[in-house]
Amino acid sequence: MLRESVINTPKEATTMHDHAVSSWILLLVSSRWIMQLRCRDRRLCREDGVNVVVADLAKQQQVHEDEETNRTAAASLQFLLTKDAFAAMAEHGVSAHQLTARHTIEVDFRRIPCEYKKKKSLAVRVEETSRNPSHLAIQMLYQGGQTDIVAVEIAQADVMPSSWRYMTRREGAPGVWSTSRAPAGPLQLRIVVTAGSGGKWLRSDGEVLRADWQPGDVYDTGLRVTDVAARSCRLSCARSTSIEEWTWSSDDNF
């Protein structure tokens, strides 16, 4: 099924992350997604589009209260892009100003696998709101492929049998999981990963977080998350030039 949307530029877009994108989706995603966006106006935009990172979520009502941007009311999904990302879609010979002056354009989009230049294992960063030992919030880093993390549990790493405690995904903060019942001591971690349909457990090999973990710490889980959804993103950005090729499998988890 072809996915359609509109994208907008805010009046004062930041450029801290080139190609950072804020999308408001009524679905919750578990981590940052890589989306390929392609403008439908071929007079203005390149055929291969632009790749952006879904950095945050907001519900429609919240966005309407916080941002004054042009948008299509009928659209169920919208992307808010930085000016740099918006301009990156421009066709050769078209100035960035010509595109950004439109404020709102229609796009086709799809999720594509997240690939890191250097092979990375899944890591967790302890969020600033955490307080050792009981309140723990972690951000997932280097989550690859087209995957969603749909469950996270922690347990003491030096106690057998393991007594696993679930963590809750923080609404509006992709990839952040928290609990106010974290056990004391070094911690191990296990997660449920999905890619399109079905899911699987991945468990760290022993300790991930030290007993003296502190906000800002980053720990390598040793887990590789690289699955790609079946029959999704069959063509590369460079080769996919017709709208008919921008399709999603009905099994894809979106």
Most confident region among 44-48, 52-56, 63-67, 161-165 by mean pLDDT: 161-165
DSSP 8-state secondary structure symbol assigned to residue 115? -
DSSP 8-state secondary structure symbol assigned to residue 242? S
4-112 and 122-223, same CATH topology: no
Q: How confident is the model at residue 197 (pLDDT cuts 50, 70, 90)?
A: low
Other C-beta atoms lying within 10 Å of the C-beta of residue 41 = 14
Question: Which pTM was predicted?
Answer: 0.62
Determine contact, residues 46/77, Cβ cutoff 8 Å: no
pLDDT at 180 over 90: yes
Q: What is the pLDDT of residue 240?
A: 44
Would you state the CATH architecture of domain 4-112?
Beta Barrel (2.40)
Hey, where are the domains in the chain? 4-112, 122-223
Q: pLDDT tens digits for 236-253? A: 334 444 433 343 332 333
CATH code of the domain occupying 122-223 = 2.60.40.760
Token pair 């890589």 is found at 34
Most confident region among 60-64, 75-79, 89-93, 216-220 by mean pLDDT: 216-220
Average pLDDT, the chain: 73
Write the burial class of residue 238 (CB in 10 Å: 0-12 exposed, 13-18 middle, 19+ buried): exposed
Contacts for 26 with CB less than 8 Å, ≥ 6 apart? 59, 60, 76
pLDDT at 129 over 80: yes
CA–CA dist 21, 18 (Å, integer): 9
Strand-pair category, 122-126 with 50-56: unpaired
Q: What is the pLDDT of residue 230?
A: 59
Contacts for 198 with CB less than 8 Å, ≥ 6 apart? none
Strand-pair category, 20-24 with 50-56: parallel
Mean pLDDT of 32-56: 81
Q: What percent of the chain has pLDDT over 70?
A: 66
